[in-house]
Structure 1
Amino acid sequence: MKKQLLYSSFLLLIGCTAVAQNRDAIKFSQTINKDNAYKHLSVLASDEYEGRETGKKGGWMAAEYIKNHFKSIGLKGPVAGDYFQPINLVSYGLSQIVTVDGQPAEALNDFFIMPKTVSAKGFAFNANSILFAGYGLTKDGYNDFVDQTLTGKVVMIFKSGEPGSTAPATASLRNSSALNAKLKYLAEQNAQAVLLIDPLVDNMPDNVRGYLQSEEMVLKNKETTDRMEVAQPMPVISIGTALANKILAGASTSIETLKKKIADSGKPSSQEIKISVCASATKVENKVRAENVLGFLEGSDPKLKREVLVITGHYDHIGITPDAKGDDKINNGADDDGSGTTGVLLIAEAFAKAKKAGKGPKRSILFMTVTGEEKGLLGSEWYSENPVFPLENTITNLNIDMIGRGDKAHESDNNFVYIIGSDMLSSDLDRIGKKANKTYVNINLDEKYNNRTDPNQFYYRSDHYNFAKHGIPVIFYFNGVHDDYHMPGDEVSKIDFPMLAKRAKLVYFTAWELANGLKRPVVDKNDDGTPKM
């Protein structure tokens, strides 16, 4: 009797387990495997794709590859019949000129202007004299501006340091609050412009030079247009030692002479220097071709198919670094985010095969690889402002950004993935995602970064956030950063393909539950994490 009861209980347990695991979900997940992952990633992260930078040839090649895959597996192009959603992206270069006594100075060698400090209107000035005002200090017992009129003047000051200081010139460069205080004072006194004598110009690091040479890329929408139109309080130009001494030669003096005089006397040595200095800077706007790539799978349930699950990964990366050390200059971005893009392609194919077999999801799924993530989440921001499907019908965003490797915290066991955001807005989504993992995949779900106070701010640093800020529940899947993050060493050869496939399967099974569930995840938390009343 007991033996028979035990046997019956065993059969019941098997039956319950079989019910818990959906056989169709398992069947169609088989296309998500390491071999198919390698097939896609070996193309997307190849040297031929030149690091897939937004607005460059490699990025366009990646977009075409993804589009062709979506088309080949039977997904529909939901953007008026197309797979591309163009984003209104522009770049701003800086045309900048400085002349001293009629002689042109060389940008980045003699001077530089921070691009973001120049409005769309630009600036220009033509001064017949310069006011040298030492360290630009106003404090008890010492005032570089005493008896000086600043209104309408071009003022030249040392960016950092104090009278008599023996510290290296670069020692206080990081003290931005002190510099900001100087600039604020000069703006309040209606100075026309400021020339900062800056040691950084004399020995400029490659990364700073690269930043100053790069073009600022922004979405062309009302918010950015309004921001670009805002005029700065006054132009600020950083100049090197050589250019500063050329200006000071108009008064037969030099930087070292003036520093010694101020240090020895303990008094300012501010003075008017009769020399002409002209400068101008203008923003040059260029249209950038960039597009999100969308593939749509319509749901099978007449009532539920209007609801849409969105699965995302960004296909762009940071392109080529000409001054990178060594022979390899291409940032292939195999992990960031070739791995996530590959995951989206694999999951899309699995669901497409399910639909062809008559087992398609009840709700619709939008598979979207976005561009411009590395430029500031621009592609996903554009979609959230110009959604192809109403945001109120979007039930969840599952975002995949780096699932092909691991970090130092998991060197001994790579069977993990960080999940971020799953419980930020919806307890339902958190429960569904963790249940899918327990039922099908059994990966260690690390929630170390699943909070808004994480110093790394990962919750705000990938494309899911442009859905979360609109109240749409999200899960961000992530394997952490590593030594090759944003470096040419992020190569296909270093990818853990079995784990890439396993993490992609976790997203797939979570998506299966969401797309076929009786109800969409309830949003029961506010953006700050407090319960909705």
Structure 2
Amino acid sequence: MKKHLLYSSFLLLMGCSAVAQNKDAIKFSQTINKDNAYKHLSVLASDEYEGRETGKKGGWMAADYIKEHFKSIGLKAPVAGDYFQPVDIVSYGLSQLLTVDGQPAEALTDFFLMPKSVSAKGFAFNANSVLFAGYGLTKDDYNDYANQAVAGKVVMIFKSGEPGSPAPTASLRNSSAVNAKLKYLVEHKAQAVILIDPIVDNMPENMKSYLLSEDMALKNKETMDRMDVPQAMPVITIGTALANRILAGANTNLDALKKKISDGGKPSPQEIKISVCASASKVEKKVKSDNVLGFLEGSDPKLKHEILVITGHYDHIGITPDAKGDDKINNGADDDGSGTTGVLLIAEAFAKAKKAGKGPKRSILFMTVTGEEKGLLGSEWYSENPVFPLKNTITNLNIDMIGRGDKAHESDNNFVYIIGSDMLSSDLDRIGKKANKTYVNINLDEKYNNRTDPNQFYYRSDHYNFAKHGIPVIFYFNGVHDDYHMPGDEVSKIDFPMLAKRAKLVYFTAWELANGLKRPTVDKNEDGTPKL
């Protein structure tokens, strides 16, 4: 008798589940599969695409590939008849010059400047002397600046260490101690500071790469205002060879001065009569890079003005010349070739539904964005220059890394992190979880679904540029692995069945959103408090 009741209950539950599922949604989801995922990702994450760096050949190739796919499946070109939305990105390199006693010093061999420390206005100074002030310490019982006037002078100090202590290795450098030294000099109106750091003598290749890298930003008012903030004080870091060239003006050298300070137990500041001239300025260059947009118009005349936006970033970090081993290309198969692939698969499924007369009631904008790795630049540009009014955008579903997993899920990869789904809209959270339960049944891990997560994932992908405008979002993410931002993020390591399954979750969620009776209600403020 109990068995019969249980069996009847099971049939009833199965019947309810079948009713809840939309047969058309299931039918057109079939092209979202591991084979089609491989077809796209094996191209986008190939060595030929050189890591898809923003503003470089591989990035342009990826944009063209995505455009051709959107075109081939019949999506409309919504940017004045084009699929590309140009993003106004500029890069800033550094023009720098340093001469000592009329002789030019060589950047990255004799000295360096931190690129982000130089404002748009740059700096220039021409000094006839340098004040050597030892370790730049200002303790109660030891003051390198005792009886010294600092204002208006170029001051040279050891970047780190104390009298009698050995030179620290790079791993032991105390940035807070350095900042305290710089703060003192700024407050006492030094003209500039020269930091002596032995790391310049044998600079690691990765450090050189960083110092040579160009900072990218949107050319908008916010960026211009930030860059126009004048520099508090020029900071130049030099090696020991150049320091000794300066000290030769006083017939001394570093070893002699260190010994004198250590043996005497007291500071030994001195004015060195030697000319030091320096200048630096930002060099701006236009970066060619585009968001790629494909538009599927809704079928309901009353609802098609409402837009669901599905995003993934197609850029990655390009080539790392100093990477260990022979492989220098950061293919970005998971980050975010997998998300881009997901967008392409979902777009094709909806396009086929529309051609069969089963298209969504609301419109869907499929958008792969550029410049995410440079600071969410492409999505920020779209949010400031939307092709469709943001007030008509009902939700953003953002896919960033869905092809692998993390160590927390090594025993079961049937999961995806969802972030942001309940931050602004209880409706969206309910719809997304219902779609999962009805169609896919993936473990939805909400470990990072909060604003105080130390990793700050809620703020680190393109959905945030929609959320900050009050648009509900869901961010789909498989977590960070050992190959994150490394050449090892290869196609061979992708779990294609799970990539397809996660993409299907986004697809079914999109189906529910695009065909629902009403758009998700925004019932929470950006800080999570209920809207009144």
Offset of residue 18 of structure 1:
2.4
Secondary structure of 1:217's match?
strand
Partners in 2 of 1:412 and 1:150 — Cα distance?
62
Residue in 2 that maps onto 1:176: 175
Task: Call closer, same or farther: CA 1:105–1:6 in 2, change over 3 Å.
Answer: closer
Secondary structure of 2:249's match?
helix
Q: Is residue 297–residue 362 contact of structure 2 (8 Å, CA) maintained in 1? A: yes
Secondary structure of 1:429's match?
helix
Residue in 2 that maps onto 1:457: 456
Residue 276 (str. 1) matches residue 289 (str. 2) = no
Partners in 1 of 2:60 and 2:171 — Cα distance?
44
Q: Unmatched 5+ residue regions in structure 1?
A: none
Q: Is residue 76–residue 295 contact of structure 1 (8 Å, CA) maintained in 2? A: yes
Partners in 2 of 1:375 and 1:463 — Cα distance?
11
Partners in 2 of 1:344 and 1:494 — Cα distance?
20
Residue in 2 that maps onto 1:85: 85
Counting aligned pairs with the same residue, the percent is: 87
* TM-score, structure 1 normalization: 0.97
Partners in 2 of 1:70 and 1:149 — Cα distance?
67
The aligned length equals: 532
Partners in 1 of 2:6 and 2:279 — Cα distance?
88
Partners in 2 of 1:172 and 1:180 — Cα distance?
15
Q: Unmatched 5+ residue regions in structure 2?
A: none
Offset of residue 170 of structure 1:
4.1
Alpha-carbon displacement from aligned partner over 1:410-437 (angstroms, at most 9, x marks no partner) = 1111111111111111111111111100
Q: Is residue 405–residue 481 contact of structure 2 (8 Å, CA) maintained in 1? A: yes
Residue 41 (str. 1) matches residue 41 (str. 2) = yes
Residue in 2 that maps onto 1:391: 390
Counterpart of 1:229, as a letter, is D
Residue in 1 that maps onto 2:340: 341
Residue in 1 that maps onto 2:255: 256
Task: Call closer, same or farther: CA 1:8–1:164 in 2, change over 3 Å.
Answer: closer
Partners in 2 of 1:489 and 1:440 — Cα distance?
33
Task: Call closer, same or farther: CA 1:241–1:22 in 2, change over 3 Å.
Answer: same
Partners in 2 of 1:317 and 1:167 — Cα distance?
38
Task: Call closer, same or farther: CA 1:170–1:503 in 2, change over 3 Å.
Answer: closer
Alpha-carbon displacement from aligned partner over 1:86-131 (angstroms, at most 9, x marks no partner) = 0100001111111111111111111100011111121111111101
Offset of residue 167 of structure 1:
6.2
Task: Call closer, same or farther: CA 1:5–1:224 in 2, change over 3 Å.
Answer: closer
Partners in 2 of 1:169 and 1:42 — Cα distance?
43
Task: Call closer, same or farther: CA 1:223–1:444 in 2, change over 3 Å.
Answer: same
Offset of residue 249 of structure 1:
0.9
Residue in 2 that maps onto 1:153: 153
Q: Is residue 161–residue 172 contact of structure 1 (8 Å, CA) maintained in 2? A: no
Offset of residue 12 of structure 1:
5.7
Aligned pairs for 1:45-194 (under 5 A) are 45-166=45-166, 168=168, 170=170, 172-173=172-173, 175-194=174-193
Task: Call closer, same or farther: CA 1:452–1:8 in 2, change over 3 Å.
Answer: closer
Alpha-carbon displacement from aligned partner over 1:265-301 (angstroms, at most 9, x marks no partner) = 1211111001111111111110000000000111111
Residue in 2 that maps onto 1:513: 512
Task: Call closer, same or farther: CA 1:272–1:25 in 2, change over 3 Å.
Answer: same
Offset of residue 13 of structure 1:
4.8
Alpha-carbon displacement from aligned partner over 1:318-346 (angstroms, at most 9, x marks no partner) = 10111111111111111110000000000
Q: Is residue 134–residue 267 contact of structure 2 (8 Å, CA) maintained in 1? A: yes
Q: Over aligned residue pairs, what C-alpha RMSD do you find? A: 1.9
Partners in 2 of 1:360 and 1:185 — Cα distance?
66
Alpha-carbon displacement from aligned partner over 1:138-160 (angstroms, at most 9, x marks no partner) = 22122111221222111101111
Residue in 2 that maps onto 1:31: 31
Residue in 1 that maps onto 2:479: 480
Secondary structure of 2:180's match?
helix
* TM-score, structure 2 normalization: 0.97
Secondary structure of 1:362's match?
coil
Residue in 1 that maps onto 2:376: 377
Aligned pairs for 1:344-423 (under 5 A) are 344-423=343-422
Partners in 1 of 2:20 and 2:273 — Cα distance?
85
Q: Is residue 458–residue 464 contact of structure 2 (8 Å, CA) maintained in 1? A: yes
Partners in 1 of 2:314 and 2:400 — Cα distance?
9
Residue in 1 that maps onto 2:211: 212
Q: Is residue 196–residue 239 contact of structure 1 (8 Å, CA) maintained in 2? A: yes
Counterpart of 1:530, as a letter, is T
Task: Call closer, same or farther: CA 1:140–1:31 in 2, change over 3 Å.
Answer: same
Mean Cα displacement is larger for which, 320-329 or 36-45? 320-329
